[in-house]
């Protein structure tokens, strides 16, 4: 279970509250985290004070600070985490067989991290677990910064197209 500390900036990933004006991507500041009820009290930037009930399906993640990225940053199009340590390089590219940890798709989904933080649409190349908490579709840069690697329980590379060993419907007799 992730513990949120007072003062940490968070972003709303999902809430099941039908009456709130908050939408995914909303940003706020943690006021307190009641670990017994797993409820996080948040002062949202739009003035809302809606608490997140994490055991009831609400989801938040540590916020990224787009302003922390400058032209001097090596990869300026990828946001920097707030109070988040650098990823362990050993987790980013574990050895996997070429056929393992891949999923063939007909269309690449957008990077969830870019979409949540800046409403930017960048094609994702990975689907995986993140250091931010939830699984996400991630572009290459976000996967390097936030992904937990490839393999079972970690993630998979998304490849546009049809799996080579499937052939066509005519080849398989499934006309």
Strands of the sheet containing 39-44, edge to edge, are: 52-53, 39-44, 27-34, 9-14, 59-62
Q: What is the pLDDT of residue 142?
A: 85
Nearest residue to 139 via CA among 155, 122, 151: 122
CA dihedral 111, 117, 119, 123 (to 10 degrees): -10
Q: Quick one: average pLDDT of 120-129? A: 88
pLDDT category at 80 given cuts 50, 70, 90 is very low
pLDDT band at 174 (very low <50, low <70, confident <90, very high): very low
Q: Is the pLDDT at 60 greater than 50, yes or no? A: yes
Local structure of 131: helix, strand or coil: coil
Q: Could you tell me if 143 and 130 are in contact, meaning their C-beta atoms sit under 8 angstroms apart?
A: no
CB burial of 33-47 (b: ≥16 within 10 Å; e: otherwise) equals beeeebbbbbebeee
This prediction has a pTM of 0.44
């Amino acid at each position: 279970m992730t513990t949120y500390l007072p003062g940490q900036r968070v972003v709303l990933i999902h809430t099941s509250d039908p009456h709130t004006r908050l939408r995914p991507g909303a940003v706020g500041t943690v006021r307190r985290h009641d670990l017994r009820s797993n409820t996080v009290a948040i002062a949202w930037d739009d003035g809302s004070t809606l608490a997140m009930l994490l055991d009831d399906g609400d989801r938040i993640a540590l916020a990224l600070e787009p302003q922390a990225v400058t032209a001097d940053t090596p990869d300026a199009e990828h946001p920097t985490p707030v109070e988040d340590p650098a990823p362990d390089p050993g987790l980013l590219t574990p050895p996997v067989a070429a056929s393992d940890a891949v999923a063939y798709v007909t269309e690449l989904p957008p990077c969830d991290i870019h979409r949540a933080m800046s409403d930017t649409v960048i094609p994702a190349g990975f689907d995986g677990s993140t250091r931010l908490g939830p699984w996400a579709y991630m572009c290459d840069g976000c996967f390097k910064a936030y992904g937990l690697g490839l393999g079972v329980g970690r993630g998979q590379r998304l490849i546009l197209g049809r799996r080579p060993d499937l052939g066509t419907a005519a080849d398989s007799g499934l006309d």
